[in-house]
Amino acid sequence: MNEFNILLIDDDEDDFCHIRDLLSDVTSSKYKVTWKSNYNDGRAALNEQTFDACLLDYRLGEKTGLELLSEVRKSPFSCPIIFLTGLVDFELDIKAMHVGASDYLVKGQLTSPLLERSIRYAIKQNHDMEELRESKAQILQQDRLASLGLLASSLAHEIGTPMGIIRSRAELAESKAGNNELLKKDLSIIISQIDRITKLVSSLLHIAREQKSEYGSSVDLNTTIQDVLNLLEHEFDRNSITLNKQFPNSYFVKAEAGPLGQVLLNLLINSMHAIAEARKQFPDRKYEVVLKTESLKDQIKLSVKDNGCGISDENLRNLFKPFFTTKDVGQGTGLGLATSVRIVESWGGEISVSTELNVGSEFSILLPAL
């Protein structure tokens, strides 16, 4: 049996009892009715986004249900709202329809079958509209990703040539370094980082074209992790974040060392940002990031867990979508997690997340074991 949470916003308790009784007579589904008796409490309840449908009365003290309907309809995630009134009023009916009401019902004409049918249709229509919005959003994202693929192709060519020149000059300088071991070491690092950039660009080009990576091979996970930590450990110290390292065993996975390092770098930086946000609200909390690896049959799990701000339900729905970001304008492109997902999937892996608001988040990467 289906169960639905219904919000009733009505200033008359008798109406609440009547509607509750009507819905209790419905045998095909179960309805839980939550009653709010005024404008402000009703608006706050709607903002919680926990209801399947709302029954909204026209008279709400100094304000009207029409005003409330106009206000909450600005939210793209609002539940379907069925307008209620005491009298037949065609003009009000039309106004409610234009503002966004799913239906218009007269209290004196209500029956259990009529009310149940109106709620059922409203929920179904709202579900269909959400699917349509999601479909349109996916089409827009595909268009933007196609443009990104074209840009990646151009960048791969434009970056490749100067990188090749820089690399050859670095190799020439290395050959002339003589006995200067420190200089040789620095030049070797420059050459390895140039190779890393070149490989990253090639990998992103394959991903933009939605191709499986041809570079996936055996990667020492611990070595890749340590390379990333060499870049970031001082940032953890500087921000008073404890880094809890739990990877005593050596694992080899199907991946690419450079792109995998970039994915891990993204996740660790995101954890630091989440902790920075949490610290504004909970300055006395002791903050840490747990970096852990473990074997799961034919897969290796790499997880990054923090006790930062967590992720809201609304942001969680969009988290891995291209161009979605919670950072301020100019601070993030929204491509980090979306690109990370596609990189990991190109090796036959996956990324998932579990989170709780104001408690923290855990991102898990599953990779094929070798």
Average confidence score pLDDT of the chain: 84
Q: The domain 2-110 belongs to what CATH superfamily?
A: Response regulator (3.40.50.2300)
pLDDT-derived band at 215 (thresholds 50, 70, 90) equals: low
For residue range 158-202, list pLDDT tens digits in order.
777 788 888 888 888 888 888 888 888 888 888 888 887 777 666
For residue range 119-158, list pLDDT tens digits in order.
999 999 888 887 777 777 666 555 555 555 566 666 666 7
Q: How far apart are CA 44 and CA 36, in angstroms?
A: 10
For residue range 334-349, list pLDDT tens digits in order.
346 877 888 898 899 9
Instruction: Give the model's pLDDT for residue 329.
Output: 38
CB–CB of 257/303 below 8 Å?
no
Segment 68-91 mean pLDDT: 83
Treating both helix axes as pointing N-terminal to C-terminal, what angle do 65-72 and 39-47 enclose, rounded to 10 degrees?
20
| Widest Cα–Cα separation across the chain | 97
Domain borders along the chain are 2-110, 137-211, 212-368
Q: What is the pTM of this model?
A: 0.50
How do 288-296 and 299-306 pair as beta strands?
Answer: antiparallel
Architecture of domain 212-368: 2-Layer Sandwich (3.30)
Report helix, strand and coil shares of the chain as percent, to nearest 5: 50, 20, 25
Instruction: Give the model's pLDDT for residue 71.
Output: 84
